[in-house]
């Protein structure tokens, strides 16, 4: 290619970058307009102003809005890929292949959007163009009026939407088949091979089982190897209705449930994360974390945990979290003497914890709420104790590592801890939106107007049987009531607040275009995210087509029952099923985000766990945790790899260090599966096999018994202390191997259900830890009396440990 041709190509690609910028910005603004929460009198004012009675300025009709957004998102993905190729050194053949995939993606997105409008019963695009739809509606309405007249009923003015006459018929099957291939090919470029390989395997399995049915029939063939599309005679045309559902179903269609989740729930939160990324609040937050942890031995390692937890609850992405906070915290950890492997592992583990840290827990948590039909406000309540346990264990891991390496607390203020006036303003950008989201999500609509603020504004209140009801709310309280408990509304108001707070930063005031860039980047992120959901949708409808989740759950339950484990079988059944689920979640989560890993495993193993007596919510929460843990699980530990890119340490060893530090993420799901009361919400105590309004799990009544809960949390704290010290091999002094094993056994015994075992184990653990502390202090005093601060053997061992850890 000549230099002139290359310049023309670069110009075209730069045009792609500009086009993706403006399209991303337009998409975000349209999406925010659609996600606008209920503002009293807004719709009425807009209609009065324009004189258009049909005008809607929020919550647009999904039949038209979804295909429009789908086409825009795929167009943005294609343009972004073209723009990135302009900055990469690729061969001419590779660029040509990329251009072909870009064009194919846009064309198929357009065709799928048009097919959706043509096939969905509420639109029937071709029928509207030909006039058939108006004719069918008029005929149906005339018949209904005649029937109403005969029965003496009022004449109807509307009828149900008629079936579409002019459909694609067999061409729809071909269209969806080609579209699936194109979407998977483009997903490889954006999301990598692991997710797509899972999809290809499941799609291939579905087509193979259909072919077996078509050519050989369903008789005498294993249920996993055959998928029936219809009766006899066998024709592939019987699959039309299935493919029609794949395209238009609100549940598992290409533009169905996940489109609803993206546009109406997580849309403002992704924008929020992008805006935080461009704000100055992140660095000020890390300064605050350093300041808070200056009196702790871990110092910058503890600061990494605090800042990653708080920043991670906004970004929800472990890799983004590592690259945002780790660039500042990891060098400080290395400066204090922590090894590169440990520093990277702690940062990766802390950043992965952002996925489980309320109030904003990432995309997977919103999917969890949608799949379990549990309000997101309840999900964040359920996540409080497990998240606290996780970060407590991380803190303990750092404490033991600091003792092991002889690292002392800084104590005094340093330059990194100084908070200027601008830093305090920057912190408003972090705490303001988070506080607003928390307040709105945890406020019930019924309670609005019943407080002191409501009385001051003049809300009328009535109290019946001790329950307050507010009526005739003023405009401000109506606004609050509309947003209370609404996930999308809380995120929308937080975005609006943050956009205003960003201008407290003089750099943002000097360059307001940074705000537009952040919004445009959010549009690109949402678009690529939906490409991931397309792959998950393909997996979803293929699994449902083959009925594999049903067969798996049935066979696993039969296998567990065949083991004949006796009286303790129920608990052992659950443990085996939980262990298999953990393995699948970690395996399928390697190399992919938490959301698709969670969905895939939930489809397969969720029914199994529910069949063994766990509530549906607890079962899905269990899977959600291991999907999040896959970010630090070797050999494909994405968060650990991101941290290793900063530390320059071995990525695999960094991954194992992250698992050791964040081990409680693998332990706490088993604990709340055993003690669902730790999740604090009634949905965690519902018996999936029960009937009636109060079908609770055996031994539960749906209430939180605080005395028992506090005792359980005390036991859990002791168990986590033992676990963290055993994995570090250190407490106040180095632990011999036998004591490490002894502490692990004690930790397991403490969380068992049998009161005789767990109370005895807790008492032994408390006594043992007390004796350990006493012996360590006695030894330290003996050494001090001899005029030596530390034993020479300890210093040599520590130096040896550091050399070994660095060399790998």
Query: If DSSP states are collapsed to H, E and C, what string results for 230-274?
Result: CCCCCCHHHHHHHHHHHHHCCCCCCCCHHHHHHHHHHHHHHHHHH
| Residue range 751-786, pLDDT digits in tens | 888 888 888 888 998 998 888 888 877 876 766 666
Cα 600 to Cα 202: distance, rounded to the nearest angstrom: 11
**Selection from 602, 676, 658, 727 nearest residue 353 by Cα:** 658
pLDDT at 473 over 60: yes
Neighbours of 275 (CB within 10 A): 25
Per the CB < 8 A criterion, the answer to whether 237 and 170 are in contact is yes
| Residue range 350-396, pLDDT digits in tens | 888 877 888 777 777 888 888 888 888 888 888 888 888 888 888 88
Per the CB < 8 A criterion, the answer to whether 632 and 658 are in contact is yes
Cα 763 to Cα 712: distance, rounded to the nearest angstrom: 14
Count CA atoms closer than 13 A to 611's CA, side-chain side.
20
> Exposed, middle or buried, 710 (CB in 10 Å: 0-12/13-18/19+)?
exposed
pLDDT band at 571 (very low <50, low <70, confident <90, very high): low
| Residue range 128-172, pLDDT digits in tens | 999 888 888 888 888 888 888 888 788 887 788 888 888 888 788
Record the pTM. 0.78
Helix, strand, coil % in the chain, rounded to nearest 5:
75, 0, 25
State phi, psi for 470 to the nearest 5 degrees.
-105, 135
Torsion angle of the four alpha carbons 330, 332, 338, 341, in this order, in degrees rounded to the nearest 10: 10
Locate 127 and state its tokens. 């029928």
Cα 378 to Cα 736: distance, rounded to the nearest angstrom: 44
Cα 192 to Cα 190: distance, rounded to the nearest angstrom: 6
pLDDT of residue 690: 64
Cα 736 to Cα 730: distance, rounded to the nearest angstrom: 9
Neighbours of 408 (CB within 10 A): 11
Locate 342 and state its tokens. 């440990």
pLDDT of residue 99: 85
Kindly write down the DSSP assignment for every residue of 608-669, as one continuous string: HHHHTT--HHHHHHHHHHHHHHGGG-TTS-HHHHHHHHHH-S-HHHHHHHHHHHTTHHHHHH
| pLDDT averaged over every residue in the chain | 80
Q: Best-predicted range by mean pLDDT among 72-86, 109-123, 236-250?
A: 109-123
Locate 748 and state its tokens. 């397991």
- Is the dihedral angle over the CA atoms 206, 207, 211, 214 positive or is it negative? positive
pLDDT of residue 807: 40
Per the CB < 8 A criterion, the answer to whether 343 and 349 are in contact is no
Cα end-to-end distance, the chain, whole Å: 47
**Selection from 654, 633, 650, 797 nearest residue 730 by Cα:** 797
């Amino acid at each position: 290619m000549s230099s002139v041709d290359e310049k023309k190509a670069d110009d075209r690609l730069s045009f792609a970058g500009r086009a993706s910028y403006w399209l991303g910005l337009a998409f975000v603004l349209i999406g925010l307009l659609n996600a606008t929460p209920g503002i009293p009198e807004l719709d009425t004012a807009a209609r009065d102003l324009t004189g258009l009675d049909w005008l809607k300025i929020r919550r647009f009709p999904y039949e038209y809005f979804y295909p429009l957004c789908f086409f825009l998102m795929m167009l943005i993905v294609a343009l972004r890929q073209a723009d990135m190729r302009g900055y990469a050194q690729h061969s001419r053949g590779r660029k040509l292949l990329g251009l072909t995939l870009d064009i194919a993606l846009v064309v198929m997105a357009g065709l799928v959007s048009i097919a959706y409008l043509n096939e969905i019963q509420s639109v029937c695009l071709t029928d509207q163009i030909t006039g058939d739809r108006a004719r069918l509606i008029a005929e149906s309405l005339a018949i209904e009026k005649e029937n109403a007249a005969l029965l003496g009923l009022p004449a109807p003015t509307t009828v149900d939407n008629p079936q579409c006459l002019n459909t694609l018929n067999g061409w729809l099957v071909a269209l969806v088949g080609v579209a699936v291939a194109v979407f998977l090919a483009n997903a490889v470029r954006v999301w990598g091979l692991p997710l797509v390989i899972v999809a290809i395997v499941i799609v291939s399995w579905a087509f193979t089982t259909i072919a077996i049915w078509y050519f050989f029939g369903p008789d005498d063939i294993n249920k996993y190897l055959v998928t029936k599309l219809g009766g006899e005679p066998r024709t592939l045309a019987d699959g039309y209705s299935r493919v029609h559902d794949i395209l238009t179903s609100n549940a598992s269609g290409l533009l169905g449930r996940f489109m609803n989740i993206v546009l109406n729930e997580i849309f403002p939160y992704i924008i929020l994360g992008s805006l935080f990324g461009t704000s100055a609040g992140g660095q000020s937050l890390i300064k605050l974390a350093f300041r808070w942890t200056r009196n702790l031995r871990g110092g910058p390692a503890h600061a990494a945990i605090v800042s990653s937890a708080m920043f991670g609850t906004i970004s929800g992405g472990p890799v983004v979290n590592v690259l945002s906070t780790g660039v500042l915290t990891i060098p400080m950890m290395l400066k204090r003497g922590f090894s590169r492997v440990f520093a990277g592992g702690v940062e990766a583990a802390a950043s992965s914890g952002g996925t489980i840290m309320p109030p904003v827990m990432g995309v997977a948590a919103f999917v969890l709420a949608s799949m379990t039909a549990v309000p997101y406000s309840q999900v964040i309540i359920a996540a409080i104790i497990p998240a606290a346990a996780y970060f407590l264990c991380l803190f303990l891991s750092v404490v033991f590592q600091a003792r092991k390496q002889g690292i002392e607390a800084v104590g005094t203020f340093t330059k990194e801890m100084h908070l200027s006036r601008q830093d305090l303003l920057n912190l408003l950008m972090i705490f303001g939106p988070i506080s607003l989201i928390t307040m709105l999500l945890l406020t019930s609509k019924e309670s609005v107007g019943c407080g002191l603020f409501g009385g001051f504004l003049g809300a009328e209140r009535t109290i019946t049987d001790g329950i307050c009801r507010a009526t005739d709310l003023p405009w401000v309280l109506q606004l609050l009531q509309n947003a209370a408990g609404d996930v999308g509304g809380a995120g929308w108001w937080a975005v609006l607040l943050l956009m205003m707070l960003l201008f407290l930063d003089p750099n943002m005031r000097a360059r307001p275009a940074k705000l537009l860039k952040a919004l445009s980047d959010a549009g690109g992120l949402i678009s690529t995210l939906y490409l991931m959901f397309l792959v998950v949708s393909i997996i979803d409808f293929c699994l449902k087509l083959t009925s594999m989740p049903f067969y798996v759950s049935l066979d696993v339950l039969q296998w567990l029952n065949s083991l004949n484990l006796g009286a303790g079988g129920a608990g052992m059944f659950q443990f085996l099923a939980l262990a298999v689920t953990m393995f699948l979640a970690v395996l399928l989560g390697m190399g992919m985000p938490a959301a698709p890993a969670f969905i895939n495993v939930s489809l397969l193993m969720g029914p199994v766990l529910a069949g063994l007596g766990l509530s549906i919510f607890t079962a899905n929460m269990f899977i959600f945790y291991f999907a999040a843990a896959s970010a630090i699980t070797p050999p494909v530990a994405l968060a650990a790899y991101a941290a290793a890119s900063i530390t320059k340490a071995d990525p695999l060893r960094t991954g194992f260090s992250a698992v050791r530090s964040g081990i409680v993420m693998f332990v706490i799901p088993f604990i709340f599966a055993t003690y669902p009361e730790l999740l604090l919400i009634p949905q965690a105590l519902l018996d999936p096999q029960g009937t009636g309004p109060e079908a609770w799990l055996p031994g539960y009544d749906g209430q939180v018994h605080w005395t028992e809960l506090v005792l359980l949390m005390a036991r859990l704290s002791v168990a986590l202390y033992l676990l963290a010290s055993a994995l570090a091999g250190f407490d106040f002094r180095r632990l011999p191997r036998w004591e490490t094993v002894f502490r692990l056994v004690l930790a397991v015994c403490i969380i068992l259900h049998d009161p005789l075992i767990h109370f005895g184990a807790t008492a032994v653990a408390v006594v043992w830890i007390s004796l350990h502390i006493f012996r360590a202090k006695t030894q330290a005093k003996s050494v001090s009396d001899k005029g030596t601060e530390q034993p020479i053997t300890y210093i040599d061992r520590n130096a040896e440990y550091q050399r070994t850890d660095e060399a790998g």
